[in-house]
Amino acid sequence: MKSSNTLSLGFSPCPNDTLIFYGLAHKYVGAEINWNLHIDDIQSLNSLAITNTIDVAKISYNAFGHVASKYVMLGAGGALGRGVGPLVVSREPLSDLEGKTVAIPGSLTTAHLLLRLSQPDTIKMVPVRYDMIMPSVSSGEVDAGLIIHESRFTYEDLGLYKYIDLGAWWEESTGLPIPLGGIAAKRELGWQRLLRIEEIIRESLEFGQQHLSEANSYIAEHAQEMSAEVRQQHIDLYVNDFSIDLGPSGRAACRALLELSAERNLIPKVPQDLFLTA
């Protein structure tokens, strides 16, 4: 069991994450732990978990499926919901994706997993950093792009067309909310310590919500020229009741995604104890 009072924590620069971790990052909550912060894109955070080199991190459920034997999913801080899924967009309207080249935001993203579950195997997938996917589609470098985060609010501004909403596909197929990412923590930290970490993250989210005007400068600092309107849309969409606690439907959605993916041999078979429980 790891006993050091210093823990590494990774989260993305997206507004939902910087709101959730504002209180923790500024030592308003969880100050008994010395947090070594890593703020990076989701694919980089996924890679840190895959290599077992970060203690606590926001990662995609696709990546979690590969590391669930060493990490457990916490109940707070995640991104789940309805109407929040990734989109496939194109420069011209498409009738199908057969044989098309599609830019994806990383092979370990949940978006990629949903694309594999829902679309033909003949798609050629090209990894592209998430904020460069729409420019790649606009320029004609690829036939279509799999977009995540704030891109769902801005793709029409670039004259792009929606081919499919993969979140809507998932909801219609399963009746469950779409699980995008969550906070995974090393099992070796020990259950009681993990419960405290989960509590700190929940406290940090509540602090950020109660002090949004103060948190806004921190959120904007990391939001990559995103407008205030888009930042707020992002928060409204991705910070919700599931961010406070996964609850039964959130856990059911996560388990369904991972088990369906394992059946298709897209991820390893996952353990039964996926989630932190009191």
User: How is residue 172 written in tokens?
Assistant: 């219609």
First-to-last C-alpha distance (Å) of the chain: 18
Q: Is 149 a catalytic residue?
A: yes
CA 144 to chain centre: 21
Active-site residue, from 149, 211, 222, 234:
149
Query: Distance (Å, rounded) from C-alpha 102 to C-alpha 228?
Result: 30
3-state SS, 51-65, equals: CCCCCEEEEEHHHHH
Distance between CA atoms of residues 131 and 128, nearest Å: 8
**Exposed, middle or buried by CB within 10 Å (0-12, 13-18, 19+), for 120?**
exposed
Q: Contact 199/192 with Cβ under 8 angstroms?
A: no
Q: Are 171 and 82 in contact (CB under 8 A)?
A: yes
Mapping DSSP to helix (H, G, I), strand (E, B) and coil, where does residue 71 land? strand
Structure tokens at 128: 């592209």
User: What sections of 15-132 are H helices per DSSP?
Assistant: 15-20, 22-25, 42-50, 61-67, 110-118
**Active-site residue numbers?**
149
